Every structure is written in structure tokens, then in C-alpha cells.
Chain A
Amino acid sequence: MRLSYPPSVKIVKVPCTGRVDTIHILEAFEGGADGVCLVGCPEGDCHYISGNIRARKRVEYARHLLDEAGIGGARLAMYNLSSADGPKFARVTREITDRVRELGPNPVKTVSGLRSQVSG
């Protein structure tokens, strides 16, 4: 199909979104990610029965933790689409990229950058 999606998107492969723990999401933000998007199988189609449902609940919890930490839960999103749905994947990565661009850089990264400039 030769579809393109934003080059800023870095893909981390997991066997199932059910493998993604809340700490993995927080670590991504602590490491400077401006946004995180979980892409799971359509609900009802999970090979492991409920991995994507569990992931959605964890995403909700992680959003709450990110709001508390001042990062903003809106930077975290989850979509459900099948592995055969390339065009939709390209569209959702553009959507999340646009949303995160509107929100601006991750505040952790911004301050870290400023500090290094000051100290440098």
C-alpha cells in the first residue's frame, strides 16, 4: 500500500496490548515522549480474550496518573484496529500526532532541555 505516517512515531512491538503495564506508559513519558498511543486489536477480537480490554482500563488509570503528575492525560490515547487495517493505522497516527502537536512538548522534556541549556 506504501502508506506513510508521521516520522515522529516510534513503534514498540508487544505481543498484545494486555502486555502493556501502566509503568511502561509512565516510563515513556518520563523518558521524554510527547505522546503515547496504544494500538490494540478490535474489542472482541483479542487472541488472548481480554488483553485489549485490560489495556483500555490501564490507559484510563494511566491518564489519571499523568493528570496528577502535570503531564496531561490527553497525551495518551488508545485505538482499536486490526492488523490488516493499514490505512486506518496511518490515519490514527496522524490524528494522535496532530493532537500531541497542539498540546506542545512534554513538560518534563521542556524543563529538562531548559535546565541543560542553563547549566551548559
Chain B
Amino acid sequence: MIVADRKPFDEIMGMIESCERILLVGCNECVTVCAAGGAKEVALLASQIRMKRKAGGRPIEVDEKTLERQCDPEYAKSLAETLEGYDAVLSIACGCGVQLVAETCQGLRVLPGLNTRFMGVTEEHGVWAERCQGCGDCVLDRTCGICPVARCAKSIMNGPCGGSQNGECELRHDTPCAWQLIIDRLKASGELSRYGEIAKPRDWSASRDGGPRKRIREDMKI
């Protein structure tokens, strides 16, 4: 899932400073699961905004809505019909959702309420961690299901580097060395001999280095 964090409250209040009526829009997908932009978070942020503005003597009207998926035109378009009278739309979806809503709601300010962080997993209740960088050329078959691109700070393909200390990355003690994890798992599955295979230099053009990416399925187009 895409994991995001709510922006600092003061930053959000600054963005809507001049507004008197806004629509706060959440998303029922990834940001609901990571508790950043679902219906619950919409209700909490809306309440906070209303209270802050009311206490400051400048009440604001905040309407609440949560779409099934903000990153899908089918749902984003449904917003366009209900925007009359709003000064802005505050979206607490990931950056993809904010952009599609902005495309759909032309002529209206669409503001981001979240900072989109990474693609990751739920490690435990309330803890999410990065697992994929969408590099476009998956190597998990060679690394026992542990991604050296996303989980190694240097994204090196033949690790570990000299900064690996007692299984930890030199960047932070709470970050395991991805290559140590790979070696441990190779050992556990009796495949340590594969560690000797040297990975060739990667073609990073499938990743962000090749510019914005697009996927087209001609058979699905209508």
C-alpha cells in the first residue's frame, strides 16, 4: 500500500487561511489502511479545523466526503458535480489521488493534506515500513524476497557494504541491513551458495531515472 502522513496542522491551516468553505476529501484505499486519510481521519481533521477557526473567531464550513478511490477517474469525477460554493478541496489521499482530483476539479484549488511517504507493508498495528520503490525490474527472486533497492539505503545489488554493523544499517539502529537479511534467509533456506552470484549493473531506465512511467493495456481500453 501507499503510506502517508498527515501534514503538520499549522501547514494545513496556512493553506486554507483565506477559505470560508472547503470540502475535505478522504480515500477508502491505502491511506485508510495506514490511518492517514480514511473516513475516520477526515472526521478528525474536519473537527480540528472547525474548532481552530471557530476559536480564532473566523469560523469555516468544512464538508466531509470519502471516495472509494481518489486515484480512479470513476470516483474522482463524482466529486466534480458537488463542488459549487467551495473555496478549495483539501484532499487527504496520496499524491496520486490529489493530482487526479485536481485534474477533475479544474478551476478550484485542490490542496494536499498529507505527505505521501512510501510503498510499504503493515509490520504491526500502527507500524508501517517501506518495502518497494517501484523500480520496474524486480529482483526479489534472486534476493529471497527481500528488496535491496527499497530496503538498502544505497540500493546496492551486491551487498552488504562496509556500513553494515551487527545486522544494522549504519544510517539508523532501527533499520536492519537488507543484505544481512538476504544472507540470513539464504542460509536458512540452504541456498547460501547463490550469494556468490554477482549481479550485473542494473538498467535503471525502468525506474524513475527513465522519467514518468505509464502502463497501457490496449485490450482493456474502451
Contact = CB atoms under 8 A, between A and B. Distances in A.
A-B complex is real: yes
Interface in B8-50: 9-10, 40, 43-44, 47-50
Interface stretch (A19-27, A36-44, A82-90): A19-27
A95 interface: no
A7 B127 CA distance: 43
Contacts of B43: 23, 26
Interface string A99-120: 0000000011011101100000
A30 B47 contact: yes
Interface of A is mostly: helix
B194 interface: no
Nearest to B10: A68
A111 B48 CA distance: 15
Contacts of A68: 9-10, 48, 52
B56 interface: yes
A69 B49 CA distance: 7
B54 A108 contact: yes
Contact of B54 (A21, A26, A27, A111): A111
A27 B51 CA distance: 10
A107 B56 CA distance: 8
A110 B59 CA distance: 13
* Interface bracket on A: 10 to 19
B44 A70 contact: no
Contacts of B47: 23, 26-27, 30, 69
B188 interface: no
Contacts of B40: 21-23
A65 interface: yes
A57 to B, nearest CB: 9
B60 to A, nearest CB: 12
A55 interface: no
B57 interface: yes
A22 B48 CA distance: 11
B55 interface: yes
Interface of B: 9-10, 40, 43-44, 47-52, 54-57, 59
7 contacts: A26-B51, A29-B51, A70-B51, A108-B54, A111-B56, A112-B54, A115-B59
